[in-house]
Chain A
Amino acid sequence: MASTDVARQPGQGVRPLSLAGHVGFDSLPDQLVNKSICQGFCFNILCIGETGIGKSTLMDTLFNTNFENLESSHFEPQVKLHAQTYDLQESNVRLRLTVVNTVGFGDQMNKQESYQPVVDYIDRQFESYLQEELKIKRSLHNYHDSRVHACLYFISPSGHSLKSLDLVTMKKLDSKVNIIPVIAKADTISKSELHKFKIKIMSELVSNGVQIYQFPLDDETVAKVNTTMNGHLPFAVVGSTEEVSVGNKMVKARQYPWGVVQVENESHCDFVKLREMLICVNMEDLREQTHTRHYELYRRCKLEEMGFKDTDPECKPVSLQQTYEAKRQEFLVELQKREDEMRQMFVQRVKEKESELKEAERDLQGRFEQLKRLHADEKAALEEKKRLLDEDQSSFGKRRAAAQLLQAQSLTANGKKDKDRKNIKRQTQVALWADLGRCCYYTGGINDSRT
């Protein structure tokens, strides 16, 4: 019996006991399974491969459904990731499956940055799990786990070797996710070529130090199967959702003029092996590896980056609390500095504004003075005109008095002098009218200037 983790733990005085009867805790796996059935399972697959290599078709074939993916164009400027979540149910097991596809991978002219969006996506999922784990009030058992559990890397069936893009991408991803390489559209390669191709791929991966996912060998029930399968990597797969009648059955297949490639026929391609390995045998292990290896590595790197350590330079264990406090003080100090800076800037701006306003005030004052002077000048001119008018008026009054006197004298003298007198009267009248006219002219002028 293989030793279990429990028995392996060093216990102080832990001795094995023998049971005198049936206690019943062997039902624990069933209890656990029942709980999990209620909660449902979660599985996230990332498919990386060039456009048109058959990622969506393979997913459809693998899960026996139609995920309704549209064909993507070849002209994407950048690699993008497109994730979709599905709820599948088989008998009483519910699975929340997320399929993430790369869109535009391998289509650009310059593929140097092609791997970056993929790495970023995977890191983002780890980050959100880490955030949830570090929260004070957290609900990890209800959390929708979006970390990528398995990555299917689609190799195009050239028959020669891996492309440099493949090597670079896989190298970047092997410490972040479980990579399972598959050879897509395997019906274009003949059996002997396929064998050579597989050997070439595996040797290239080994020589470049790429760590792909190895099926676990520590559980005897599956060790044998897994060892065989490890030898068949990478799986050469063919995907198809169309059914063709072969013999008297309808099977999933691709129909060619020269024959029919059956998807579920083990001698035609490795599809059944892939399905076995990915789903039936190792789904739980994939999830566990993601959580205990890849996620822990990410967490460790992230926390170390932030400056948290387990041990001091003197190798004494430092509690997270102390490091946290130190960081917090740093943060507070920096905050204080920034606050001071802002305050200074504020004071300076206020000063500038003040001086501006003062200048404006002075300007305004100057203009006011100017206007006042103008006003005074105009007033003086008008006074002058008024004086002239008054003079004219008084001279006109005098002349009128003189004319009236003359009239009175002519009335007391008699005779012929009437006509002369009338002429003189008329003349004086005309002169008076002319004066009056002039006065009116002046008055009218003053009236005008007064208004």
Chain B
Amino acid sequence: IRLFRNTQTCFSRTSCTDLFGYVGIEAVLDQMRRKTMKVGLEFNIMVVGQSGLGKSTLVNTLFKSKVSRKSCTPNCEEKISKTVKLHSVSHVIEEKGMKMKLTVIDTPGFGDQINNENCWEPIVKHINEQYEKYLREELHINRKRRIPDSRVHCCIYFLPATGHRLRPIDVEFMKRVGKIVSIVPVIAKADTLTIEERQEFKERIRQDLAANGIRVYPQKEYDDDPEERILNDRIRESIPFAVVGTDKEHQVNGNKVLGRKTKWGIIEVENVAHCEFANLRDLLIRSHLQDLKDVTHNIHYETYRVRRLNESNMNFSELGLSARPLENGTADTSESESHL
């Protein structure tokens, strides 16, 4: 165990002594693991895209279970809803002792109308409502031991595989929503693009994203250390992921694999040479799950909180906690719903 001594306020190292002997500080890692397993995990994911792009299928493939019920093609008699309605479904899934409460928020009707102006508004409203709920809970005097977290941790945005560029609706949506939530864009039904077409398409999308100042997850500014930066750079070079989703299994070379069977071959979903589903799954679940939650909690939620508290002029340090005089005059007591 190595010892560096500090004084209380300045954290510069003053002395370093090498001493041997077991203390057991490492065991705190195990304690943390046990605590996480005991507490479980909440994860809220939102899927946005036009109907027919395979959103529900993808979610089912990601979590290997029937999370969303696929909507069948609507008949002519069924009216397409005038506005985007959000539809959220929660499930509890467990793997190796780790319990997860997964909530999938679907957005049927997005981009389906003839006039799609302001189609992002219900989505933005929903996201902000979740932040508001959490903020209220946090400001209570008697707080719950664990505040239920319904904030959207990740929003998967489905781009149709046109092969050209980003469309205006894509740009508008991602610009607005990218400020308040972590967006992961994916190219849906990517089996209609050849590998070269796919690369070009991705390159053009990346250019468009940069040109419009859209920040998608993982954002460059939030990289903590060089290792993380290298890892995230690699990810940033390959977004948006070209994905194919399915829940049917077929036999390939004697193994049962998830795939789409066509006359000209079987597209293996989990094969990295065929499509990038595995990359998406690894990013979302296996490596950056905690990071998504952290970014939502530490950055997006804090931004919302700052804005909200400034709007209602709630500066607690002005009151009893410290004796500084007020700077502005009378308060504006409008409790308006904040919208972008």
Query: Which positions in A face B, CB cutoff 8 Å?
Result: 1-2, 4-7, 9, 11-33, 35-38, 41, 62-68, 83-91, 93, 95, 98, 130-131, 134-138, 140-141, 218-219, 221-222, 275-276, 279-285, 288, 292, 296, 299-300, 303-304, 306, 308-310, 319-321, 324-325, 327-328, 331-332, 335
Taking the closest CB of chain A, its distance from the CB of B38, in whole angstroms, is 6
- Say yes or no: B32 contacts A32, CB within 8 Å: yes
Please encode chain B, from 147 to 180, with 1 for each CB lying within 8 Å of some chain A CB and 0 for all others.
0100000000000000000000000000000000
The stretch of B47-55, B77-85, B137-145 in contact with A is: B137-145
- Say yes or no: B1 contacts A26, CB within 8 Å: no
Residue of A whose beta carbon sits closest to that of B294: A35
Query: In the complex, which residues of chain A have a beta carbon less than 8 angstroms from the beta carbon of B71?
Result: none
- Say yes or no: B1 contacts A327, CB within 8 Å: no
- Say yes or no: B29 contacts A37, CB within 8 Å: yes
Q: Does B340 contact A (CB under 8 A)?
A: no
- Say yes or no: A26 contacts B224, CB within 8 Å: no
Query: In the complex, which residues of chain B have a beta carbon less than 8 angstroms from the beta carbon of A33?
Result: 29, 32-33
Q: A13-B89, A17-B65, A33-B32 are in contact. List 19 more A-B contacts (CB 8 A).
A: A2-B38, A4-B37, A5-B40, A13-B90, A18-B93, A19-B63, A19-B64, A22-B95, A23-B281, A27-B285, A27-B289, A66-B19, A67-B5, A90-B23, A135-B316, A137-B306, A288-B35, A324-B316, A335-B325
Please encode chain B, from 184 to 226, with 1 for each CB lying within 8 Å of some chain A CB and 0 for all others.
0000000000000000000000000000000000000000110
Please encode chain B, from 228 to 252, with 1 for each CB lying within 8 Å of some chain A CB and 0 for all others.
0000000000000000000000000
State A146–B36 Cα separation when bound (angstroms).
23
Taking the closest CB of chain B, its distance from the CB of A360, in whole angstroms, is 38
Query: In the complex, which residues of chain A have a beta carbon less than 8 angstroms from the beta carbon of B15?
Result: 68
State A21–B257 Cα separation when bound (angstroms).
11
Decide yes or no: A29 and B37 within 8 Å by CB, A86-B5, A90-B1 being known contacts: yes
Out of A1, A21, A31, A141, name the residue touching B289 (CB < 8 Å). Answer: A31
- Say yes or no: B100 contacts A38, CB within 8 Å: no
Q: List 10 A-B contacts (CB under 8 A).
A: A6-B100, A29-B98, A33-B29, A64-B21, A86-B5, A89-B2, A90-B23, A135-B317, A281-B27, A303-B141
- Say yes or no: B95 contacts A64, CB within 8 Å: no
Decide yes or no: A20 and B36 within 8 Å by CB, A14-B90, A279-B25, A331-B319 being known contacts: no
Q: Does B264 contact A (CB under 8 A)?
A: no
* Residues in B303-340 with C-beta less than 8 Å from chain A: 305-306, 309-310, 312-322, 325-326, 330-331, 333, 335
Residue of A whose beta carbon sits closest to that of B18: A65
- Say yes or no: B28 contacts A41, CB within 8 Å: yes
Query: In the complex, which residues of chain B have a beta carbon less than 8 angstroms from the beta carbon of A11?
Result: 90, 92, 101
- Say yes or no: A221 contacts B34, CB within 8 Å: yes
- Say yes or no: B224 contacts A284, CB within 8 Å: no
Q: Does B262 contact A (CB under 8 A)?
A: no
- Say yes or no: A89 contacts B8, CB within 8 Å: no
Query: In the complex, which residues of chain B have a beta carbon less than 8 angstroms from the beta carbon of A93?
Result: 25-26, 28-29
Decide yes or no: A17 and B93 within 8 Å by CB, A66-B17, A85-B6 being known contacts: yes
Q: Does B290 contact A (CB under 8 A)?
A: yes
- Say yes or no: B281 contacts A24, CB within 8 Å: yes
- Say yes or no: A131 contacts B317, CB within 8 Å: yes
State A31–B294 Cα separation when bound (angstroms).
11
Decide yes or no: A29 and B100 within 8 Å by CB, A9-B148, A17-B91 being known contacts: no
- Say yes or no: B287 contacts A296, CB within 8 Å: no
Query: In the complex, which residues of chain B have a beta carbon less than 8 angstroms from the beta carbon of A21?
Result: 64
State A23–B145 Cα separation when bound (angstroms).
29
Residue of A whose beta carbon sits closest to that of B29: A33
State A13–B101 Cα separation when bound (angstroms).
12
Decide yes or no: A63 and B23 within 8 Å by CB, A6-B41, A308-B141 being known contacts: yes
- Say yes or no: B89 contacts A275, CB within 8 Å: no
Query: In the complex, which residues of chain B have a beta carbon less than 8 angstroms from the beta carbon of A292?
Result: 145
Query: In the complex, which residues of chain A have a beta carbon less than 8 angstroms from the beta carbon of B335?
Result: 319, 321
